[in-house]
Structure 1
Amino acid sequence: MEFSNFYTVKTLQLFNDTTGYAHKTDGSDTDKVNRLIALIRKERDIHEAR
């Protein structure tokens, strides 16, 4: 499944910093987050179409 780039490393790190979590963010983190967002949106679209 192809997913969009909702976050970049920089934007995810900024979000991470504002929530108080000191976790180093890299490309694999953004891939995971973007994939999860895409899956959630897909599921939401499926359920709204019913």
Structure 2
Amino acid sequence: MKVEQNADLPKTTHCNKSRRNLTEEEKEARRIRRVLANRESARQTIRRRQ
């Protein structure tokens, strides 16, 4: 499972500034993607050390 490395970067740079803070659903989805990306990078680090 390949996860892009910039999973925790906000994709909302093109959004207008009047937008309010993220909904709980968006925050949860972003948090899950960050966890998955961290897990993948940790897996690669462990593989490198063996």
| Count of residue pairs the alignment pairs up | 33
Query: What's the TM-score, normalizing by structure 1?
Result: 0.53
**DSSP 3-state at the match of 1:26:** helix
**C-alpha displacement of 1:7:** 2.6
* Structure (1 or 2) with the larger CA radius of gyration: 2
2:38 & 2:9 partners in 1: Cα distance? 11
* Cα RMSD for the two superposed structures: 2.5
Gaps of 5+ in 2: 1-6, 14-24
**C-alpha displacement of 1:26:** 0.5
Query: What's the TM-score, normalizing by structure 2?
Result: 0.53
Which is helix-richer, 1 or 2? 1
Quote the sequence identity (%). Answer: 6
After TM superposition, where is structure 1 displaced by more than 4 Å over at least 4 residues in a row?
A: none
Partner of 2:29: 29
Tell which has more relative contact order, 1 or 2 (C-alpha 8 A, sep 6+).
2
Contact 1:6 1:34 in 2 (8 A): yes
